[in-house]
Structure 1
């Protein structure tokens, strides 16, 4: 009797063309009763046309694109519409005259675009306001360029208040001098003085007539108003719009009523104090300003090592002798007692000899680096420091980035500095907790934003982000649909029902897979014992991890974007205002296969920051960090573009 399994396998081989022509003929005879029956079968089957085999297109694996960096384009400048200003003032004056019962209604206001005509009309209508009105004629041909919102605020203010702010008695007043002093100190805040420069008119020149004097004063008036508003805006919000840098930057607008700001300054005796008050009001900003002043006054380092130096034991590098000299120079008594003679013996050599490895490792340990003996950028930066110019740039970038944040960071807050791979918990203005973190890799960068803490979740599910599901898991699932079922994941359809991963046609939906995937709580869960949530569109949060070994590394950019904590129980206890023992009880109580939550009942901001220069928590000492994502260079390009755009403006 012919075995069914053998029949199935043989038929499959035959249909698939997996046997030779001779064996195929034998197989046909065996199945259909020999050569006699073969003829009858062939007679019953009409001849079939020869068809080309169907060529199926290979299934393309979709990708969810990561956020991108943009070609930064600063806001363009516009010419202030002084004709509109003069026409508006003239129209208002005419309206008021027409309403007077003293027979002046016949006075007509010429609505010609000539500023001189507008000024004359207003002067005739309201002689008591003739100084400002007559001076308006001096704006004829005056091209003042500034940002659009500033140009609009300028016109709006003077339409409502047609009078001088910075001029009194045909001269520059004390209010103007106060503002000019503030603008002149812009560099001390990390701004560019050239962006706010205003020429003070030389009114004492011999032969200057009244008309020329009025023209100089009105132009000074408008220029100072425009530059004071630019300074106020830059101090309040920054020179660069962070959200135009990349998709990783996500900051809310910092609204500012510039018309109101000019009104404030018009009624202040010292508007310079108002301008200075627009800068961030936090200790970090003050510490960075002090560091900037110190750096600018300091001499360049005696020994400057190329920050890109890289050399392993046994290798050679021209910068290596400089590094050895710094290690010897900065070594304490105990260090030099052990390694001093060794360092002297190799002085001037560019060969990294094996016997020097212990000395280099000891130097790395003194700077809290992993003592691996390999000299790379982080070791060079820690031991030799960066050049004065590089440190100044990092402080300038940090000052700019702080302007994107709230002026007051809050007396209690969490600061995650991605560039430093660290997180600090500040309570009542004092550092209470600091720890190492693991952050997003260069290809899965942690975004730059701020939010508020909401919840701690114990024994959490890990909801697999769409990007990971599509980019990393989908190729595996197209080969092996049972992959998720076998590896501790749950698949949930759009009706909230759990389904087997084998029931999903993974290759049929492209990047829009109609299910969600989550990893069950447990020892292998990617989030470990807990996560601390501050819900945001980037799906970023702080959490535990089973991969503890990564915290011992100097460079800790390994995650998919979330922030892994070296001591998650301590952080959870801090933000909940409880003890670590209490957190442990929450983790261990009940069914550990089911998540539980506790709401954070205090208002605690969390800043997911990126600062390559930053004061140590509780100290004014500024520490410098590597630019793991290359964001400093992109910010520098943006700032340079802003300066180039503003340079020709007057």
Structure 2
């Protein structure tokens, strides 16, 4: 994508034609180098144009300054390398990409529709166990290495192997039910070398959309994995399951600075929830907000009983504010973490603890 054809050394062109050819080459080379420097710093595509759920500020790139630097340095490669993000996450992915490109094709291919429960048998099981054994860390090896060595060629899903599968599933962010299904197979095996390389390239591109310095300490929400991590000084200090917005209320992708932490918070109910979820019930049961611990205030800030409002008179616009008082039943739980943003998104606890036991956790309002 950044290549430029080099003019031939030998030519029958006149001096004027040769000069024009070299000028065209110089302009094309400069344009490609500037494009590479820009893409290394900011990404090859503008994420905000792909979907409204991406919200990343543009990274300014000084084209004139870059051109002057390139014209006066002998270390062009060093300069271009410096345009890439310098955070450890990006550098680790580059190392992984090099290793993948140098690796052999994945010779173990599992049936993507495999479904295996304890006590059942399948010729696919030894392949799966081989993949697990290849990727054991020290802790997993100490706990399960002996079992894998002894039963690694078994086609019967022995009860002794169930804790191994559960541990692997939990390590990958799954519930850990011990049932070997398509998602377990996809996490442990499945992709071809080309697919894995493409995933790493996409991850590198996504990191270019973020600041080169990701900050420390920081909280990182991995939406596809439904996890939240607290990272300090390059080390992951805490990782926990997270619930994100459901398909109809997707959580935006963006970054911002945490400004405030509230304990035992009120929940200011968004107008969309009042209209779409509360109003239908309020028309037949006007007092239910009073009983459920909610406060209703009018446009002047006066608190009024929910039972005194004629909810049937309102449609898409409600001239009242509703908030839920702090309690064990409060939708925000015991904690709210604020990082003011235009999406009105924040992190919070929840009384719905059962959500965290699920593998697919796109269950919230966003």
TM range (shorter): 0.7 to 0.9
Contact 1:327–1:383 (Cα < 8 Å) also in 2: no
Determine which of 392, 399, 402 is the counterpart of 2:197. 392
Other-structure match for 1:87: none
Contact 1:464–1:519 (Cα < 8 Å) also in 2: yes
Other-structure match for 1:327: 129
Q: Residues 446 and 409 (structure 1 numbering): CA distance in 2 closer, same or farther, change over 3 Å?
A: same
Determine which of 103, 110, 115 is the counterpart of 1:311. 115
Determine which of 161, 165, 183 is the counterpart of 1:364. 165
Provide the aligned C-alpha RMSD in A.
2.6
Q: Residues 442 and 310 (structure 1 numbering): CA distance in 2 closer, same or farther, change over 3 Å?
A: farther
Paired with 1:201 and 1:340, the residues of 2 have a C-alpha distance of: 59
SS state at 1:419 partner: coil
Other-structure match for 1:280: 85
SS state at 2:240 partner: strand
1:507 deviates by 4.4
Contact 2:264–2:327 (Cα < 8 Å) also in 1: yes
1:385 deviates by 4.9
Give the paired residue count: 351
Other-structure match for 2:234: 429
Unaligned runs of 5+ in 2: 134-143
1:499 aligns with 2:301: no
Other-structure match for 2:286: 481
Alignment of 1:321-470 (within 5 A): 321-327=123-129, 330=132, 333-336=145-148, 343-344=154-155, 346=156, 356=157, 358=159, 361-367=162-168, 368=170, 369-470=174-275
Q: Residues 293 and 329 (structure 1 numbering): CA distance in 2 closer, same or farther, change over 3 Å?
A: closer
1:312 deviates by 6.2
Other-structure match for 2:9: 203
1:371-403: CA deviation from partner (whole Å, max 9, x where unpaired)? 424333331133335332222222111111111
Moved over 4 A (4+): 328-333, 336-341
Q: Residues 311 and 444 (structure 1 numbering): CA distance in 2 closer, same or farther, change over 3 Å?
A: farther
Q: Residues 454 and 229 (structure 1 numbering): CA distance in 2 closer, same or farther, change over 3 Å?
A: same
Q: Residues 328 and 282 (structure 1 numbering): CA distance in 2 closer, same or farther, change over 3 Å?
A: closer
Other-structure match for 1:72: none
Paired with 1:287 and 1:542, the residues of 2 have a C-alpha distance of: 28
Paired with 2:114 and 2:347, the residues of 1 have a C-alpha distance of: 33
1:539 deviates by 1.9
1:598-637: CA deviation from partner (whole Å, max 9, x where unpaired)? xxxxxxxxxxxxxxxxxxxxxxxxxxxxxxxxxxxxxxxx
Paired with 1:553 and 1:253, the residues of 2 have a C-alpha distance of: 36
1:245 deviates by 1.7
Q: Residues 481 and 246 (structure 1 numbering): CA distance in 2 closer, same or farther, change over 3 Å?
A: farther
Paired with 1:293 and 1:511, the residues of 2 have a C-alpha distance of: 55
Paired with 1:223 and 1:337, the residues of 2 have a C-alpha distance of: 58
SS state at 1:478 partner: helix
Other-structure match for 2:24: 219
Other-structure match for 2:138: none
Q: Residues 335 and 471 (structure 1 numbering): CA distance in 2 closer, same or farther, change over 3 Å?
A: farther
Larger radius of gyration: 1
Paired with 2:20 and 2:151, the residues of 1 have a C-alpha distance of: 74
Q: Give the TM-score normalised by structure 1.
A: 0.50
1:263-291: CA deviation from partner (whole Å, max 9, x where unpaired)? 22222233332222111110000001111
1:260 aligns with 2:65: yes
Q: Residues 265 and 481 (structure 1 numbering): CA distance in 2 closer, same or farther, change over 3 Å?
A: same
SS state at 1:526 partner: coil
Alignment of 1:225-304 (within 5 A): 225-304=30-109
Paired with 2:53 and 2:29, the residues of 1 have a C-alpha distance of: 36
SS state at 1:449 partner: coil
Contact 1:288–1:395 (Cα < 8 Å) also in 2: yes
Paired with 1:450 and 1:515, the residues of 2 have a C-alpha distance of: 31
Other-structure match for 2:141: none
SS state at 2:219 partner: strand
Paired with 1:313 and 1:209, the residues of 2 have a C-alpha distance of: 78
SS state at 1:256 partner: coil
Unaligned runs of 5+ in 1: 1-193, 347-355, 562-650
